[in-house]
Structure formats: C-alpha cells, structure tokens
C-alpha cells in the first residue's frame, strides 16, 4: 500500500507540473515568445494560452506598452569646437516581438546607443548658438535618423525629447568671461560716445555764446555810435555842453572811487583844478 501511495502521489505531482507547464496566462500589455526545442514556435498574446509541456518553452517576455528609455548625459563637440552637454529621453513601442528578440541582442540598449551616436553627429554639424537654440530641429532630425533602423528591430520610435542641452562648465566660464568683456566694451563705447556728445554740445554752446556775444557787442557799438551821433547832432558846434557833460562824468567817476568799500585812500589828480577850469570854459 505504501508503494502504491507513493506512485499515486508521483503521478499527481507529474500531472500538476505538466498542467502548470502547459497552461500560460499572459497579462495585458505583454507578449511572450515561445520556442520549441530551441527554435521559434509562436507568440503568446494576453489571456489564457496552452503550450506543449516539456517541448515548448517561454523564452522571452516582452512589454508591448510604451517604453521609456533614458539616454544618459554626454559631452558633444559642435562645429565651432565648443563643448556642450546634452541628454535625451525616447519613447518606443514594440510592434514586432519576433524582430525585437531575434533582430538585435538588446533592443533597449541598441536604441539608446543609436540615439547617443546620432545626437553627436547632428550637433557636430551645428554651430554652438544654433545647437543651443534649435531643440526642435535636433529632435526632428534625431527621430528621422533612427526611425528606419528601429523598424528593422520591430520597434516604433514614437518620440525623442531633448531633456537638456547646455555648454559644459568650462565653456560656461569662457562664455561668462566673454560676456563680461563684451559688457565692459559696450560700457566704454557708451561712455566715450557720451563724452563725445558732451564735447560737441559744449563746443556748440560756446560757439552760440560767442555769436550772441559778438552780436551783443555789435549792437552795443551801434547803440554807442547812434548815441554819439545824436549827442553830436544835439550839441552842434557848441563846446559848452560838451564840456559840461564830460565834467559831470569826471566828477561821478571820482565820487564812485570815494564811495568804494575797498577804497581806503582816494587819489585825486594833481591837475584837478586845471581840469575843472578847462571844462568850465577857462573861468577862474
């Protein structure tokens, strides 16, 4: 009886293992590749699937949902020998599981390396400023370049995004130094231009002042001449009024000297009496 029980248990275990090996439940969003005796036999789709135990073996389990591939950061040299740092992220989908497992050893790593090499090639054809300001152009060329190769591997590249693209640290320091020098140059140019304009305006002001002064001198001279003509016309040939006017001005000048705050001593001409006598017509 003991031996029979052992045999029954062994048969039960064998049947259970056989059923377990023959029945496969594939979750939604996955497809499994089945090989029979080492050769591709079929693809299991989501749901309940039956395979031949011991002959068929699930070799690969592929995710058919969108796969996110993070492309590591790398340094790239531009056409003008500037070093920039960039990384990317790709969204791919397995559309042909057979090609994905038998067309390439590791499709994720293959796509990642292809994006890195293609990115270096694209940016290497651009100037620094062009590379930093044309993410959309780089993204479009990158997706177009890897799309055909991805199809051969049973993949569809849905999108490639440039996560970051920036100058390297050494390049940033050089750019900051260049920007600082450019700002100083512009400041010096602005200051020189301001000094130039100030000099021009000052010269124009002096010229205008000189013109106005000259016009004023001419006007004063004309006024003096007119005054002299009128006085001469009014006096005529008489010397008396002329002497009187000159004597009055002479006395006023001496009076002004005497009233000056700074005048401690007033010097009178020695011939004051003679002068007054002459101005008054020789009276004694």
Nearest to 90 by CA among 165, 36, 158, 8: 158
- Bigger pLDDT: 281 vs 15: 15
| Mean predicted lDDT score pLDDT of the chain | 80
Asked which of 135-149, 188-202, 229-243 is least confident by mean pLDDT, the reply is: 229-243
Q: How confident is the model at residue 103 (pLDDT cuts 50, 70, 90)?
A: confident
pLDDT at 207: 85
pLDDT at 166: 83
Is residue 205 within a helix (H) or strand (E), and if so which, with residue range? Answer: helix 169-235
CA distance 142 to 145: 5
Q: Which CATH number fits domain 67-172: 3.30.470.10, 3.30.420.40, 3.40.50.300, 3.30.479.30?
A: 3.30.479.30
Q: How many CB atoms lie within 10 A of CB 188?
A: 10
CA distance 150 to 112: 11
pLDDT (average), residues 247-267: 63
Can you spell out the DSSP letters for 158-170?
EEEEEEEEEE-HH
Q: Are 89 and 161 in contact (CB under 8 A)?
A: yes
Backbone phi and psi for residue 66, each to the nearest 5 degrees, phi listed first: -60, 135
Asked which of 159-168, 227-236, 241-250 is least confident by mean pLDDT, the reply is: 241-250
Q: Are 24 and 43 in contact (CB under 8 A)?
A: no
pLDDT (average), residues 75-92: 88
pLDDT at 284: 45
- Bigger pLDDT: 146 vs 1: 146
pLDDT (average), residues 37-44: 90
pLDDT (average), residues 41-58: 90
CA distance 228 to 215: 20
């Amino acid at each position: 009886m003991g031996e029979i029980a052992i045999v029954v248990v062994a048969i039960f275990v064998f049947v259970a293992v056989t059923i377990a090996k023959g029945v496969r439940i594939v979750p939604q969003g996955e497809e499994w590749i089945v090989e029979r005796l080492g050769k591709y036999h079929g693809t299991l789709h989501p749901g309940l699937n039956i395979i031949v135990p011991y002959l068929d073996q699930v070799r690969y389990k592929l995710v058919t949902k969108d796969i996110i591939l993070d492309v590591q950061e790398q340094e790239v040299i531009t056409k003008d020998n500037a070093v920039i740092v960039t990384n990317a992220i790709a969204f791919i989908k397995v559309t042909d599981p057979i090609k994905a497992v038998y067309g390439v050893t590791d499709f994720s790593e293959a796509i990642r390396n292809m994006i890195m090499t293609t990115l270096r090639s694209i940016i290497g054809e651009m100037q620094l400023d062009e590379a930093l300001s044309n993410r959309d152009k780089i993204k479009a060329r990158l997706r177009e370049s890897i799309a055909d190769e991805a199809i051969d591997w049973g993949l569809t590249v849905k999108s490639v995004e440039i996560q970051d693209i920036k100058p390297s640290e050494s390049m940033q320091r050089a750019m900051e130094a260049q920007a600082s020098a450019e700002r100083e140059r512009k400041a010096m140019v602005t200051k020189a231009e301001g000094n130039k304009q100030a000099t021009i305006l000052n010269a124009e002001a002096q010229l205008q002042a000189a013109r106005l002064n000259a016009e004023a001198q001419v006007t004063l001279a004309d006024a003096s001449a007119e005054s002299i003509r009128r006085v001469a016309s009014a006096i005529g040939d008489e010397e008396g009024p002329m002497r009187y006017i000159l004597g009055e001005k002479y006395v006023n000048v001496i009076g002004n000297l005497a009233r000056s705050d700074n005048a401690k001593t007033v010097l009178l001409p020695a011939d004051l009496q003679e002068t007054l006598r002459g101005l008054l017509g020789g009276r004694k």
